[in-house]
Amino acid sequence: MQTRTLGKSGLEVSALGLGCMGLSYGYGPATDKDQAIALIRAAYERGVTFFDTAEVYGPFTNESLLGEALAPFRRHIKIATKFGFDFDPETGAQRGMNSRPEHIRQAVDDSLKRLNTDVIDLLYQHRVDPNVPIEEVAGAVKDLIAAGKVKHFGLSEAGAATIRRAHAVQPVTALQSEYSLWWREPEETILPTLEELGIGFVPFSPLGKGFLTGAIDANTAFDSTDFRNVVPRFSTAARQANRALVDLLGRIAQDRDVTPAQIALAWLLAQKPWIVPIPGTTKLHRLEENLGAANVALSKDDLANIERTVSTIEVTGDRYSAHLQQRVDR
């Protein structure tokens, strides 16, 4: 597996990371613990050195899962986790944002215990908290870096102005936001800002929450606990309309003797050398398919062809429901 450096920070990771959320949260019932550990370790054996989690995934169980799975080779890998929410002390249910400095310090101490480590390689603010100035957030993480508990600071789904303000207090190593062939908004202002400031980019949902794999169609039934049930872009009508994009990727992939998912990931890797996608999966064959994208080299002609053909497709449906959209793009 090739490696990449996230921005000017010196944080070197595998060109493709592993997004671990879906093993515990969001896409239906949690994966069996032993199977999840086996998948995480299989990723490491295949060259992945960058693993993404968050306290809210579960909540808490995903961090503990990674802590156990990665313990045998902790010094060879990089772990990214996130803070930014309050939880009910009795039920563990998420109950709103909280990026107050004192809360960040406690969240980091708790994450360190669950991750079974003495330092977090990359610590993201999970979502921008409108009630806490970003300068205070960056200052709190700066103190944690000075204390040796954190190595690098990241933001997630932050806007360009917020990134600049945070970066002025504590250099931001990476931004994690959604980016893929069916969500290209970051190209407008985010990517130019990151390039100017020397900040890496970690796209989540690089396969469109599974849609760009070609495995989802208008007839696909999601588990009742799968959050895609409330995502407008995954309504039956939207899935039917958006199938045109997957069909197009399929034709391009067939010409290259690869899969649509591999084309989608290779396209992301080709955009900038400081982009590190983190596709997630619960299946070994999908993991191997995704990692195979690192070996798919797209030429300038390939990229021009993809751009030309994809530009003819209009994606249908919002990427989030209204109440979730309020948490992003600040």
CATH architecture observed for domain 3-325: Alpha-Beta Barrel (3.20)
137, two tokens: 């957030």
Evaluate if residue 75 carries a pLDDT over 70: yes
313, two tokens: 């497709």
Evaluate if residue 291 carries a pLDDT over 90: yes
Contact status, residue 140 vs residue 104, Cβ threshold 8 Å: yes
pLDDT at 131: 97
Evaluate if residue 106 carries a pLDDT over 80: yes
25, 27, 57, 124: the catalytic one is 57
Q: What is the pTM of this model?
A: 0.96
- Residue 143 backbone dihedrals phi, psi, to 5 degrees: -65, -40
Q: Residue 245 — very low, low, confident or very high, per pLDDT cuts 50/70/90?
A: very high
Taking only the tens place, the pLDDT of each residue in 170-218 is 999 999 999 999 999 999 999 999 999 999 999 999 999 999 999 999 9
320, two tokens: 């989030």
Residue 248: C-alpha distances to residues 39, 139, 211, 239, 264 (Å) = 30, 46, 13, 14, 11
Q: Which residues, at least 6 apart from 133, have a Cβ–Cβ distance to it below 8 Å?
A: none
Taking only the tens place, the pLDDT of each residue in 252-286 is 999 999 999 999 999 999 999 999 999 999 999 99
Q: In Å, how far from its chain's centre is CA 321?
A: 19
For range 299-305, the mean pLDDT: 93
Q: Residue 92 — very low, low, confident or very high, per pLDDT cuts 50/70/90?
A: confident
Q: In Å, how far from its chain's centre is CA 329?
A: 15
For range 112-136, the mean pLDDT: 98
Question: Which is it for the CA torsion 114, 116, 117, 120, positive or negative?
Answer: negative
Contact status, residue 151 vs residue 136, Cβ threshold 8 Å: no
User: 180: closest CA among 202, 158, 155, 154?
Assistant: 202
Evaluate if residue 8 carries a pLDDT over 50: yes
pLDDT at 329: 43
Which segments of 2-146 are extended strands (E)?
A: 3-6, 11-14, 18-19, 50-52, 78-83, 85-87, 94-97, 120-125
Evaluate if residue 295 carries a pLDDT over 90: yes
Of the chain, the end-to-end C-alpha distance in Å amounts to 35
pLDDT at 324: 61
Q: Residue 322 — very low, low, confident or very high, per pLDDT cuts 50/70/90?
A: low
Contact status, residue 272 vs residue 287, Cβ threshold 8 Å: no
Average pLDDT, the chain: 95
pLDDT at 141: 98
Q: Annotated catalytic, 57?
A: yes
pLDDT at 34: 98
